[in-house]
Structure 1
């Protein structure tokens, strides 16, 4: 049985600045609960990653391998979890220019856990964890915008 979640945040940064943080894996530990990141296949973590790149995220003892499957510059970032407790997991970060300025960010995913009956627990956990992710991304991008153009 598939499950899903969606979390949102608003950043005062423009969509380009938010997108730049998403495609540079090296920034993730700066704005998220993730402790460390490395690239298994693809560009250096400080460079922009592309479709097909696989990143390894470490949070405490948990390790997550994710492959970038879709990039629409300044609008959408799509990824799939390629290891761990899920039969399938496809996440998307949608960026929309907000009418009041800045960017509205929606981070969502559909997933199916390997362990039967664990879906409601995973949805509860992921909703909370990913809200921290999207809030951190929004804040980081806003602070980056305050400092000047992202490199």
Structure 2
């Protein structure tokens, strides 16, 4: 049975700035609970990633491998979690410029855990963890130097 979550946050930064931060794995430990980030195969985490790149994130003793599956410039960042406690996991970060300025960030996912009956726990945990991710992204994007963004 698939489960979902969705969290939102608002950044004073423009969508281009938020998207630029999302594309650079090296920034993630600066604004999220993630301890370290690298690109599988030795890619440069300071450069923008592309569809097909696999990022490896470490938080404490946990390791997550995420494959970038969709990029829509300044609007959508899609990824799939490879392995871990999930049979399937498809996450999306949607960016929407607001009329008053800045960007609304919606971070959501649909997932199916491997362990039966663990879905409610994972929805509870991921909702809280990803709210921290969205809030950190929103704040960081407003203050970070973003190459190529005015």
TM superposition shift of 1:72: 0.3
The answer as to whether partners of 1:65 and 1:82 remain within 8 angstroms in 2 is: yes
TM superposition shift of 1:41: 4.0
TM-score (norm 2): 0.96
Q: Which residue of 1 aligns with 2:30?
A: 30
Deviations 1:94-140 (A, max 9, x none): 00001110000000000000000000000000000000000000000
TM superposition shift of 1:43: 3.6
The answer as to whether partners of 1:42 and 1:53 remain within 8 angstroms in 2 is: no
Q: Aligned partners of 2:122, 2:84: CA distance in 1, in Å?
A: 12
Q: Aligned partners of 1:11, 1:25: CA distance in 2, in Å?
A: 19
Q: Which residue of 2 aligns with 1:87?
A: 87
Q: Which residue of 2 aligns with 1:131?
A: 131
RMSD: 0.9
Q: Which residue of 2 aligns with 1:101?
A: 101
Q: Secondary structure at the residue paired with 2:40?
A: strand
After TM superposition, the runs of 4+ consecutive aligned structure 1 residues lying more than 6 A away are none
The answer as to whether partners of 1:41 and 1:55 remain within 8 angstroms in 2 is: no
TM-score (norm 1): 0.95
How many positions carry a matched residue from both structures? 147
TM superposition shift of 1:150: 1.1
The answer as to whether partners of 1:42 and 1:52 remain within 8 angstroms in 2 is: no
The answer as to whether partners of 1:12 and 1:101 remain within 8 angstroms in 2 is: yes
Q: Which residue of 2 aligns with 1:21?
A: 21
Q: Aligned partners of 1:43, 1:96: CA distance in 2, in Å?
A: 29
Q: Aligned partners of 1:83, 1:54: CA distance in 2, in Å?
A: 12
Gaps of 5+ in 1: none
Q: How does 1:1-150 map to 2 (within 5 A)?
A: 1-41=1-41, 43-144=43-144, 150=146
Gaps of 5+ in 2: none
